[in-house]
Amino acid sequence: MRAQAIEASLEAVALRAGDPTHQVYDRLFELAPALRELFVRDTDASVRGQMLQQVLETVLDLVGDDHYAGVLIGTEWVNHQNLGVPAAQFALFFTAMIDAFRTILGNDWTPAFEAAWQSVSDQVDTLIARRAAPA
């Protein structure tokens, strides 16, 4: 059920907005303006687009069979800290993405979409908390 809602929401976003990269990153930079500096060399937004694509593929795996997503999210949490992303802001990307999708769809954002994406956000938070815990 969750996977179907995520897939349906992504299809609806694509139909409505095409590539939502700009909306997602605009929202991220509203929430954390200092993160914009990390993308100063990404003048054509290709890095942002590739990152969003990887996140969406990871989310689809996470809500599916979770072949790699759980491990990748923890690994990327560490990698992003090495790139200058504060640990506490890593999951903010998921908030920004969900906010952007909600805005893009407006009245077409359903309770099922909200519940599915909140579940993904909660799962990401749990994965990060496990990774952050001392061994």
pTM: 0.92
Q: Percent of the chain, pLDDT > 90?
A: 75
CATH code for the domain of 99: 1.10.490.10
What is the rounded CA–CA span in Å between residue 74 and residue 131?
6
pLDDT of residue 113: 98
Query: Using 50, 70 and 90 to split pLDDT, how confident is the model at 135?
Result: low
Q: Which domain holds residue 74?
A: 2-132
Question: Taking residues 81-91, what's their average pLDDT?
Answer: 83
Residues 55, 23: Cα–Cα separation, whole Å: 15
CA dist 121 and 36 (Å) reads: 22
DSSP string, 92-133: HHHHHHHHHHHHHHGGG--HHHHHHHHHHHHHHHHHHHHHHS
Question: Rg for the chain (alpha carbons), in Å?
Answer: 15
pLDDT for position 108: 97
The more confidently predicted of residues 112 and 38 is: 112
Read off the pLDDT of each residue in 39-63 and give the average, rounded to a whole number: 94
Total structural domains within the chain? 1
Mean pLDDT of the region 101-105: 98
Read off the DSSP letter of residue 45. Answer: S
pLDDT of 19 > 70? The answer is yes
**CA 61 – CA 90 distance, rounded (Å):** 19
**DSSP states along 58-92:** HHHHHHTT-SSHHHHHHHHHHHHHHTT--GGGTTH
